[in-house]
Every structure is written in C-alpha cells, then in structure tokens.
C-alpha cells in the first residue's frame, strides 16, 4: 500500500512531521484493510472453521456470499484460507473493483445507484442459498456499498422505483441510517430478511463485516 503523491507532499514544509503523519496514515490504512481484517478473523483446523475464536465444524458443504465494495478483497482472503472446502460462492461488487478469484463468482454492479446487475446478482445469490442444506455453512461477507449492490425489491415495487427512491434519498440530505430504514422496507433481502430466508436451510450463517 502506497501514497501516490508522497514525494509531492514532502517537497515543502515540515518534512519530518509530514513523514510521521504519512506513516501513521499508512498504518491506519493497513489495519483497516478488508483483506487483512479477514485474515485476522478467520482460521481453520482441517474442517473446523474458526471465526473470531468461535469454532464451527463443517459437516456438509461450504458456501460463500459477499456484497459490497470490499467483498472481492474479503473473498480473496477466504479463498486462501478455505479454498479447498468451498463448493460455491458469489460476490457482488462495484464496477472496477473486481479481483481474480478461483472458486467464487464475481458480479459487478451499480453503486451508489443500483442497476440491473444489482438485481441479477441478488437473484443468483438467493438461488445459491436455496441449495444449502441443514449441515452446510454459509459465510456472508458484507462491506460498504452493499445496499445498492444487493437488491431485490418487495412485491409491487420495480427496480426503477427503487432507483428513483434511492436518488431522492441521496439528494435529500438524509443520514445513512435514515436512508437504510427506508431501503429495508422496500427490499426482500435487507433488514435481516436474507438471514430469515437462509434459516430454513442453514445450520450456520456467519457474517464478516467491513466498513469499506
């Protein structure tokens, strides 16, 4: 991780103070890196998956679902740790944020305004969830931007309706938690609804969250 204009920043002023400030900035960025965060949170012992010190015994199949701008970085770390156990996976990320993954499919979609790919990705995610049995595990990777990247409108609401409401909310000056309250009432998968759909099938659903 580098600061692209480092040399320009250090051309004038208190160079020593600026160097210290840049080092502090770099360390802060490294500590919040989504890839690093998952590496710190997730380990394994054979078929035992350990998340934040909590152990889950994999008795069936392992699935991975991710949505958000950092979902590819998070999924890359999951693949490196659990790759041979993963049966199927899907992440939905912002255009231009794709990373090469080996076992997890990547769909790029619209952010901050959802688009057709946001809907297509969420529909494929629910199709994957429907396959999961009671002995299987689903790991969900959630990061910033997931609200627009993972979209299925409630019955009677079209994608265009959601896009229009999203635009109005973004222009209104509403706070993000206020926007999210409206979003979840218009969605089939937000506000815990995805978890409710998965509980019928899944013995263990575990989420790793990142604010990026």
Per the structure, the complete domain to which residue 190 belongs is given by 13-210
Assigned token pair, 101 = 């993954």
**pLDDT tens-digit readout, 109-124:** 999 889 999 999 999 9
Q: Pick from 212, 176, 205: which is nearest to 72 by CA?
A: 212
Question: What is the C-alpha to C-alpha distance for residues 60 and 47, in angstroms, rounded to an integer?
Answer: 10
The pLDDT mean for the chain works out to: 88
Query: Is residue 37 assigned to a domain?
Result: yes
Judged against a pLDDT cut of 90, whether residue 180 lies above it is answered with no
Domain of 101, CATH number, reads: 3.40.50.10180
> What is the count of structural domains for the chain?
1
Residue 39 clears pLDDT 50, i.e. is over it: yes
C-alpha 35/C-alpha 40 separation (Å) is 9
For the entire predicted model, the pTM comes to: 0.82
107 three-class SS: strand
Cα 129 to chain centroid distance, Å, stands at: 16
């Amino acid at each position: 991780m580098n600061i692209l204009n480092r040399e320009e920043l250090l051309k004038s002023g208190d160079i020593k103070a600026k160097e210290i400030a840049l080092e502090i900035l770099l360390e802060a960025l490294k500590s919040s890196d989504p890839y690093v965060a998952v590496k710190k949170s997730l380990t394994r012992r054979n078929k035992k998956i350990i998340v934040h010190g909590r152990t889950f015994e994999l008795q069936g199949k392992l699935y991975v679902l991710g949505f958000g701008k950092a979902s590819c970085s998070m999924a890359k770390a999951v693949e490196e740790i659990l790759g041979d156990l993963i049966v199927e996976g899907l992440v939905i990320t912002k255009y231009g944020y794709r990373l090469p993954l080996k076992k997890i499919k990547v769909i790029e979609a619209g952010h901050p305004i959802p688009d057709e790919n946001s809907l297509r990705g969420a529909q494929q995610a629910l199709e994957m969830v429907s396959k999961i049995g009671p002995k299987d595990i689903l790991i969900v990777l959630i990061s910033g931007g997931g609200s627009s990247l993972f979209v299925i409108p409630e019955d009677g609401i079209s994608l265009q309706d959601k896009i229009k409401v999203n635009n109005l909310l973004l222009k209104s000056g509403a706070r993000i938690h206020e926007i999210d309250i409206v979003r979840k009432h218009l969605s089939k998968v937000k506000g815990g609804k995805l978890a409710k759909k998965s509980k019928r099938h899944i013995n263990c659903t575990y989420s790793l969250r990142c604010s990026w």
